[in-house]
Structure 1
Amino acid sequence: MEIEQNFSDIHNEFWAKDEVTQLVKMGIINGYPDKQFRPALEVSRGQAANLLSQALGLPDAPYRPIFKDVSSKSSHLRGAMSTYKAEIFLGKEDGTFGVADSLTREQMATVIVRAFKLQDTGEEIQFKDQKRISESHRDGVKILAQHGITTGKEDGTFDPKTAVNRATYVVFLHRAMVKTDKITETPQISFKKAGTYGNFKPVRHEQNFVEVPVSKTDKTYLRSNAYLQLTNEKTKKHSHSTDTVYTYSIAGMSPAVVNVTKRQLENGDYFIFTELRNPQRLPITVDLIQSESNVAKGIVRTYDRYPIKKNADGTFGFDMTTYPTGVFEKTLAEGNKAQKMIGKSFRSKELSLKYKNGESSHTRELMDESEAFSGILLGDTVLSVYTLQSQGYDVVDHWLLLSDQQLFSSNQQMDDWMHESAIYYKKRNKWYTANGPYNKMATTIEPMPASGRGYGRNLLLVKEDRVMGKYNETQERYYESLLYNSFANLDIFKGDKTYWETEVTSTYLKNLFGITAPFVDTRFNEQIALFLYNGGKAFGHSDYNRGLINYADLLVSQKSKGNIIKVDANSYYIQDYFPSKQNVKTHTSMNHLLGGMNILLLAYKETGKPIYLETATSLQSAIEKDVTKWIRPNGDIWYKMSPNRTLVGEDYVHLTLEDLIHSYEMWMDVDPSKTAVFERMIRSKAGYMNKNNKGYTTKIKNGLERIGMPQLLPAGLEHTDAL
């Protein structure tokens, strides 16, 4: 008889598969939540009593304070009381039941003889180690052998003092039930081959489980060889998602904890972020386990079909990270398909540097990125295991995005994203946490570990511009869910402020101006405001312009705060950076300047408030008065203006042209008389790029077409991301 395999460690080659399968089906014994039976685990006296009471259908017996180690709330209460009443287990001389003591083979013989009322047939049976059998159990061992329930070991011994494991106990129990006509032995079975994913291996030793209530349909557990206990549960609402955080302590490992965050998105999908924090020396392994039923088929499409060509550069050094594991697609029995994106595990150490002003800079040293996922399909149940391994004094992160629908509408759409992620691996988020994604930081940050593997939360990557572009292009559910997640991460990063401050110090800025984290980077805030504005409009959010207005107000206030470079009474530049606690002047770069001006114009178009137009006009006037200074002799644009109004630095390859085109469009809508200076700079910058074969971005190509200047498209390759 061929049936579905029920446990990952009970297979066709296992000697007790028939007995285990029959008693499990009858509900006499169960496996563990991770779909393992663990046949080699020793059986305790308490467990043996529970199993016997179940097998015999013994009536419940009321609690009596007979045994010191059995309370009215004990998990072994029913087994201990009912088997004691039936005179199967009699307890120990010290007044305990011995619920936690291992059941020995000789004790097993005695309790089975008593339980099934087996009688002495008079046959004389001796084992080679007869003298080692306790006198109180000799009759039990003999009678068990008389009835053929045991034949002893192959060497002629009984091995009376050895502890009984789960498989052996089930086999002896099964034989006794068949012998006494309690059950009919089923025909020999054969299992259908189970499908596995990744490097799936059963964990044979004892484990502790705690259920994490993240789903109403599927089961999710934490598994560890240490005891896990829920210590806190809290819920936090974001603009368009809700986080529920479950915190578990790890017994004997204090203050180590596991945080499991379920981020419920407005579209019904949800993330699970698992974080193992281990601020001590001892290593810890914790597995997140998912058990999903009603599955007819499961396949994994992995990113590693698209190899990454790794390289280091002078700005960021070498990036260890790659891409997520891939998409697991399950086909349900009724034919519907659902997908989940599986991330890898990231082990890191938190770094911080405190300054005299009381502020600090925060980074992480990435120790390793590793494959966390493995799984097995048993019948109609998929078991997925995500392993977090701590070596001590570290933090281990893992993430999942789950949907009851398809994240990608076709394999082609999925493959396109995976291929793009391999090409642009440095600019695609893959290390997600409940507090935002971590990415390789420039080598000019502090604290920077000696290894050079400094990672942090880069605000430009917390907002997912490329994902927004892909969503607008394809409407794929995966991008929609990533955008909801990005909205939440930006909300968390911002905290109770109305703007965003960096949490990492740039030594480049520190050396120039003495600035340390936290500080406001105008470019970051401009792009976040636009991201939330465009995303909010695309999703129909009522608060779509909140970030835009807040940032426009911040820009307006900089004149009164003195964070400007003055040209004349009505013309000035706003500095690129506003330090939190340091009163210093910083430079103005053209791309920051244009971005801020564009935000002010958009805020004016949204609200009609004159102050936004007035401030934007002051910036436009400053550029117009200094335009001949900004344009370099070779036609390119200078990168920045210092507080003393000197111009220096190599400009970005593509980025500033994107901004100039946008500024031209914005002024064309508000006041076309202001556009001449931007057209002049567009022609100059584009001409320089064309002569030097710098290529262009998709944004530049589309933008030049919109403003009627497609002939200015620079020669060279098209790029997805600006350089």
Structure 2
Amino acid sequence: MASSKRMKVLLASVLTMMLALFGCNSIGANSMEINQSFSDIHNEFWAKDEVTQLVDKGIINGYPDKQFRPALEVSRGQAANLLATALGLPDAPYRPIFKDVSSKSSHLKGAMATYEAEIFLGKEDGTFGVGDSLTREQMATVIVRAFKLEDTGEDIQFADQNRISESHQEGVKILAQHGITTGKEDGTFDPKTAVNRATYVVFLHRAMVETGKIQETPEVSFKKAGTYGDFNPVRHEQNFVEVPVSKTDKTYLRSNAYLQFAGEKTTKHSHSTDTVYTYKIAGMSPAVVNVTKRQLENGDYFIFSELRNPQRMPVTVDLIQAESGLSKGILREYDRYPVKKDTDDTFGFDMTTYPTGIFEKTYEEGDKSQKMIGKAYRSKELSQKYPNGESSYTRELMDENVAFSSIMLGDTQLSVYTLSSRGYDIVDQWLLVSDQLLFSTNQKMDDWMLESAIYYKKRNKWYTANGPYNKMATTIEPMPASGRGYGRNLLLVKEDRVMALYNQTNERYYESLLYNSFANLDIFRGDQTYWETEVTSTYLKNLFGITAPFVDTRFNEQIALFLYNGGKAFGHDDYNLGLTNYADLLVSQQSKGNIIKVSPSAYYIQDYFPSKQNVKTHSSMNHLLGGMNILLLAYKETGKPAYLETAESLLRALEIDADKWIRKNGDIWYKVSPDHTFVGEDYVHLTLEDLIHSYELWVDIDPSKTAVFEKMLRSKAGYMNQNGKGYTTKIKNGLDRIGMPELLPAGPEHTDAL
């Protein structure tokens, strides 16, 4: 006959089953409502009370990702450590007793202490068996020894008694006599099965209550934990490494593969500092994870996570953040504003959309902060090598995915960012973390999200530590057969729209994006004083045989202006460095022969300067105006005569050819070829913006030289007006500044120039 204690355990089990079957509320009057500590220990979990009490007492812990993993098997080494803690066993000095326990072993304390206490005696082969799974019969014996449980004389037999090892039969019997085990529902004990964490905790807890080492606490009831995204606990064993990106919050990498720290590198940029932490994925060499923290001057920082897997085997790595002291968290998602996808004749279909959203945190003190969360982008690197030894680089985008999921456990927000590789690919994910609000109002945040949805093709969303990737024109190489070719477009590495919005609003998010853009431009440029493309245009290749890398004058002009305006906005001492560097490059092109001569003192500078090729290319109106404007701005900044002299040479060429540039319909030809023919459809808005800027600059330097620009801008604006082409905000403001508002073309207003 079973003892009264054993009967109590059986009755409790039956009662629990009845409550579950009939849907009754099992929370009694004496239950405690507390915050959930682990994402996988919830109100329906059978051992929640025992786990909660032993965790509170520091006898057992969970994992860094706020999971307990109750189904994981317990090893003999782990069981020894837990027993040593539960019993408060004194530390025993290291002795070379066991072949598998060294002086540096993580199981040293438990193995030595439990051996000295005659709880674990080791194995016949001279090992402790630290990595061996603890079986149910072994568990019975060590618990009986550990808590000095005595035989009550009660005769207990299990249906599988003959399967219990002779050396453990007494331990199993005594454990059952004390009601610590009741066996399985079918009357068996199942002696050879490995013990999992939940079962071990329950048996350990019962033994501690039975022997008076702890008092059983009231039943616990967990408050509901809020989740975002597709949050699911990872139940199997995982490996963790801590990434030191924050002094206040914990950040980890998690993977079922072993992660080995492989180095740390710090690089300073003008207004930010990058620290890259590299981790090898053991058994999958040369697969690596790079986590880059980009610390910005304003205190915000980016985290760029990159999983590079140049082999066939798939692998998943999660970046995990645990942020404490929160009272509330809310995710404000971009997908409130649907993206209207279309196929562009020039760029094809763009798979990308926008980031996931902004997670807003409210702290217990009432303060708030925000972080912007990007999606994950899985891609393959492409390259094409040319006879001159140079190469062109793009990426084939395989997919864009929501990487973020989270759970709120008490005052701790656990955020998971998943990088999932299928093999032979790269997975990127990013987030921007601030201890303040990135947007001062919800309305300003919503405005940006809506704009990002409308202009998704021209708003960066796939950020990496080396710059943003965007859909490239279908006329570039290497272009994958899928048409999903993405690259670092210099015009989008610099963030003009963000600069305009920052000047209008001073919002923190735009400030941080600008600091990031400055760093990306610094990385892209490398050791040179100008920027070269890394992608080959087949349009230019077919025309002139040009392949990457080459200098695109328009790209460099706009980058110089961006850095100039940004530097002035932020008060940088080096605000005009990019301006003068590019002006020097333009001045040198006459001596290098990269010009189209109009007269002995008049010429156009070519649009493109190949790196290792000596070829003539065309000069387009927007490029030559942009270059002239840079020279004039640099002259105003420095007073260097060479800048003005070069600008005047370009001006004379325009004055000579003014009538040739203007088409019969009033529009401007796109370009002049090396043979001095004028061809091509001009941009809709861009050239008028440039003409207005040129007019303004010459008014400041020499008003007598503005006639050719007024003639051209009146002709261009008239053509646009007649055809209802509309205008950009820049055109509207520019015409107001120069006193010609009547020239504003009819049609809609555009944010970005076409």
Q: TM-score, normalised by structure 1?
A: 1.00
Residue 159 of structure 1 pairs with residue 184 of structure 2: no
Matched with 2:461 is 430
Secondary structure in structure 2 of the residue aligned to 1:307: coil
- Please tell me the residue identity of whatever aligns with 1:534: N
Matched with 1:522 is 553
Matched with 2:388 is 357
2:638 corresponds to which of 592, 595, 607: 607
Matched with 2:263 is 232
Secondary structure in structure 2 of the residue aligned to 1:83: helix
2:569 corresponds to which of 538, 550, 555: 538
Matched with 1:340 is 371
Q: Name the CA distance, whole Å, in 2 between partners of 1:705 and 1:69.
A: 82
What are the residue-to-residue correspondences of 1:254-653 with 2, within 5 Å?
254-653=285-684
Matched with 1:670 is 701
Q: Deviations over 1:7-57 (max 9, x none)?
A: 000000000000000000000000000000000000000000000000000
- Please tell me the residue identity of whatever aligns with 1:134: S
Q: Deviations over 1:649-692 (max 9, x none)?
A: 00000000000000000000111111110001110000000000
- Please tell me the residue identity of whatever aligns with 2:304: F
Cα shift at 1:314: 1.0
Q: Deviations over 1:521-559 (max 9, x none)?
A: 000000000000000000010010000000000000000
Q: Name the CA distance, whole Å, in 2 between partners of 1:240 and 1:234.
A: 17
- Please tell me the residue identity of whatever aligns with 1:577: Y
2:152 corresponds to which of 118, 121, 138: 121
Q: Name the CA distance, whole Å, in 2 between partners of 1:138 and 1:410.
A: 70
Q: Name the CA distance, whole Å, in 2 between partners of 1:19 and 1:486.
A: 52
Residue 25 of structure 1 pairs with residue 64 of structure 2: no
Percent identity (aligned): 86
Matched with 1:698 is 729
Q: Name the CA distance, whole Å, in 1 between partners of 2:681 and 2:186.
A: 85
What are the residue-to-residue correspondences of 1:67-146 with 2, within 5 Å?
67-146=98-177
Secondary structure in structure 1 of the residue aligned to 2:217: coil
Q: Name the CA distance, whole Å, in 2 between partners of 1:130 and 1:667.
A: 102
Aligned CA RMSD, in angstroms, stands at 0.3
- Please tell me the residue identity of whatever aligns with 1:586: T
Cα shift at 1:232: 1.0
- Please tell me the residue identity of whatever aligns with 1:118: L
Q: TM-score, normalised by structure 2?
A: 0.96
Q: Name the CA distance, whole Å, in 2 between partners of 1:307 and 1:547.
A: 38
Cα shift at 1:313: 1.2
Cα shift at 1:569: 1.1
Secondary structure in structure 1 of the residue aligned to 2:143: helix
Matched with 1:59 is 90
2:275 corresponds to which of 233, 238, 244: 244
- Please tell me the residue identity of whatever aligns with 1:708: G
Q: Deviations over 1:475-521 (max 9, x none)?
A: 00000000000000000000000000000000000000000000000
Q: What 5-or-longer segments of structure 1 have no aligned partner?
A: none
Cα shift at 1:167: 0.2
Secondary structure in structure 2 of the residue aligned to 1:122: coil
Secondary structure in structure 2 of the residue aligned to 1:544: coil
Q: Name the CA distance, whole Å, in 1 between partners of 2:334 and 2:705.
A: 48
Q: Name the CA distance, whole Å, in 1 between partners of 2:267 and 2:705.
A: 46
Secondary structure in structure 2 of the residue aligned to 1:493: helix
Q: What 5-or-longer segments of structure 2 have no aligned partner?
A: 1-31
Q: Name the CA distance, whole Å, in 1 between partners of 2:220 and 2:266.
A: 48
Residue 710 of structure 1 pairs with residue 741 of structure 2: yes
Q: Name the CA distance, whole Å, in 2 between partners of 1:523 and 1:462.
A: 14
Q: Name the CA distance, whole Å, in 2 between partners of 1:674 and 1:228.
A: 66
Q: Deviations over 1:107-126 (max 9, x none)?
A: 00000000000000000000
Residue 168 of structure 1 pairs with residue 227 of structure 2: no
Q: Deviations over 1:332-383 (max 9, x none)?
A: 1100001000000000000000000000000000000001000000000000
Q: Name the CA distance, whole Å, in 2 between partners of 1:234 and 1:704.
A: 49
Q: Name the CA distance, whole Å, in 1 between partners of 2:359 and 2:151.
A: 59
